[in-house]
Chains A and B, each alone.
Chain A
Amino acid sequence: MKFRIYRYNPDTDTAPYMQDFELSLEAGDAMLLDALMLLRQQDDSIGFRKSCREGVCGSDAMNINGRNGLACVTSLSSLKQPIELRPLPGLPVIRDLIVDMTQFFKQYHSIKPYLVNNDPPPETERLQSPKDRLELDGLYECILCGCCSTACPSFWWNPDKFVGPAGLLQAYRFIADTRDQDTAARLDNLEDPYRLFRCHTIMNCVDVCPKELNPTEAIGKIKDMMVKRTV
């Protein structure tokens, strides 16, 4: 199997370059992360993040043959060779396939990703009807891997001002939550030409999401709520 991997070590390299690797491995049922682990036995300087290795932690997001995805849930047999691996686009590279996600998480934190409820907490839990709970499906599953936001041209151009698909999906997750009491402030926080309305419905986010979530639909629902409270 042939691989082309983006290499950059700021301590020793003046510029990033692509390095070719070869691995004697039958694709079979193996995932891309398995191959990366074997490649690291060949060359232990290859830098990439991984943790749970089963699509739950969101650590090993990278650009695989030009498309963002999680190495651990991308099967090798689905990839054309040479398999070209690059870091997630649009974020500063720390080393090889490892990017600095500070900007991404700054935007995530800016939407207050927690339940705001000023009532005294009840004995057990704050209950929701099954129907209200259903509204959170397709929202809470996000693992914050960053595949969507770093595939979004609007996020590339304005990562400091546009919240990005991942952040906006989570914003709607709390706007849609009937236990949350901060809806008006949440909408105020997003009613801004940059923070929400940089989304031009390009839908790269929907295309790449490894959890098959739909940030564009969530953004549409936020706009719907803004229309409803304005007109």
Chain B
Amino acid sequence: MVNRIVTGAHYGLRDWLAQRFTAVVMAVYAVFIVVYLLLQPSFGYDTWIGLFSGNIMRTFSLLFLLTLFYHAWIGVRDIVMDYVKPASIRLLIHVLVILALVLYVIWSVQILWGL
């Protein structure tokens, strides 16, 4: 293969936009958690268990975690694109990061629903 600098992948906007929207979802969730916990008269293990016992909270927590993982994927990929020059190593790191994030999703479901 000739050694030429190639660009023009024709993507980027979707990820950039997704990173903004996932950030908004995470901010809303984080504010909710902090406010909710501050409003509790007493704070202990029972409060925590009570908060996560309902399916609604579990669902929104999973949504939060999914947006976090997607946000992290774009961020980590950007760092790798900035600093890792050989394309083969870059691809390998991308694959490893994706696999780790998919595992985190499965793990999150297990934790949230106590499977």
Contacts and interface: CB of A to CB of B under 8 A. Distances in A.
Interface of A: 154, 157-158, 160-161, 188-189, 191-198, 200, 223, 226-227, 230
B82 A154 contact: yes
B12 A192 contact: yes
Nearest to A190: B12
Contacts of A193: 9, 11-12, 15, 81
Given A197-B12, A227-B13, A227-B17, A192 B7 contact: yes
Contacts of B81: 158, 193-194, 198
Contact of A197 (B8, B15, B83): B15
A223 B16 CA distance: 9
Majority secondary structure, B binding face: helix
A188 B16 contact: no
Contacts of B10: 188, 191-192
Interface of B: 5, 7-17, 78, 81-83
Contacts of B78: 200
A230 B14 CA distance: 9
B7 A161 contact: yes
A140 B8 CA distance: 26
Residue from B5, B9, B13, B17 having most chain A Cβ neighbours under 10 A: B13
Nearest to B77: A193
13 contacts: A157-B83, A161-B7, A192-B8, A192-B9, A193-B12, A193-B15, A195-B7, A195-B8, A196-B12, A197-B16, A223-B16, A227-B17, A230-B13
Contacts of B11: 191-193
Contacts of A196: 12
Given A195-B7, A197-B16, A198-B82, 8 more contacts: A158-B81, A188-B10, A191-B13, A192-B7, A194-B81, A197-B12, A197-B13, A200-B78
Contacts of B13: 191, 197, 223, 226-227, 230
Contacts of B7: 161, 192, 194-195
B77 to A, nearest CB: 8
A194 B83 CA distance: 12
Contacts of B5: 160-161
A196 B13 CA distance: 9
A194 B16 contact: no
A195 B64 CA distance: 31
Contacts of A161: 5, 7
Nearest to B10: A191
Contacts of A160: 5
Contacts of A230: 13-14
B12 A191 contact: yes
A157 B82 CA distance: 6
Contact of A158 (B9, B14, B15, B82): B82
A194 B9 CA distance: 8
A193 B90 CA distance: 14
A97 to B, nearest CB: 27
A109 B63 CA distance: 44
Nearest to A226: B13
Nearest to B78: A200
A160 B9 CA distance: 15
Nearest to A229: B13
